[in-house]
A and B are shown apart, each in its own frame.
Chain A
Amino acid sequence: EVRLVETGGDLIQPGGSLRLSCAASGFTVSSDYMSWVRQAPGKGLEWVSVLQSNDMTYYADSVKGRFTVSRDSSKNTLYLQMESLRDDDTAVYYCARGARGAFDVWGQGTMVIVAS
């Protein structure tokens, strides 16, 4: 079964750092485009970042320079390192597998709350 499970969400103070993890099963994260998508409370979906199979990374302007996406192929896990967190980073963070320009597999999400 193809599955993604996110962990690492927490309550964190503004300016703090946090690392999210996304463990994959049923497929290999290094062979696919893997993205992070977030959803602020009561709001729509916002694409955050993508890690291509060739190790290229791209980010939304709202997180560029603060967030870093990476993977550990030995653990079949995707990560999102978040620095200099702001109130408006508060959201449910989903990891998702990219295929043909769409996201065909999603995790259940992990909640990040940035507040003092």
Chain B
Amino acid sequence: EIVLTQSPGTLSLSPGERATLSCRASQSVSSGYLAWYQQKPGQAPRLLIFGVSSRATGIPDRFSGSGSGTDFTLTISRLEPEDFAVYYCQQYSGTLSYTFGQGTKLRIK
């Protein structure tokens, strides 16, 4: 099973700042099947990025994904107040097994 480790655990920033969230895999992620989700309290997760760098429908272009192999990054170029939430990365290994990272909490400084 591929283990995903996200860092930092908590990130404190101010609106307007740039956020960089990291996701590291224990082995190479198959065919670039790496996704990012945003989750707010009491809500279901929302898909932001799939296939490492493709934005899901309706996701603003301030969200971008990058990386390859075992190291991936979600960048939020300029934080809006509604961006403060928990973010998860997720991989699909191609053997019909999916894993999530433990999450990064993005909080207002």
Contact = CB atoms under 8 A, between A and B. Distances in A.
Interface residues of B, number: 27
A67 interface: no
A interface bracket (residues with beta carbon within 8 Å of B): 20 to 34
Interface string B11-52: 000000000000000000001011101010000111100110
Contact of A103 (B34, B47, B103): B47
Contact of B44 (A47, A52, A94): A94
A37 B44 CA distance: 10
Interface in A26-79: 35, 37, 44-47, 50, 52, 56, 58, 60-61
A2 to B, nearest CB: 10
Nearest to B45: A106
Contacts of B56: 102, 104
For the complex of A and B, the 6 pairs showing the least CB-CB separation, nearest first, are A101-B33, A101-B92, A102-B35, A102-B50, A106-B44, A47-B98
20 contacts: A35-B98, A44-B101, A45-B39, A45-B90, A46-B100, A47-B98, A50-B98, A56-B96, A58-B97, A60-B97, A99-B50, A100-B50, A101-B51, A102-B33, A102-B47, A103-B35, A103-B37, A103-B47, A104-B56, A107-B44
Interface of A: 35, 37, 44-47, 50, 52, 56, 58, 60-61, 94, 99-104, 106-109
Given A44-B103, A50-B98, A103-B90, 20 more contacts: A35-B98, A37-B45, A44-B88, A44-B101, A44-B102, A45-B37, A45-B39, A45-B45, A45-B103, A46-B100, A47-B97, A101-B33, A101-B51, A102-B35, A102-B56, A103-B37, A103-B47, A104-B47, A106-B44, A106-B46
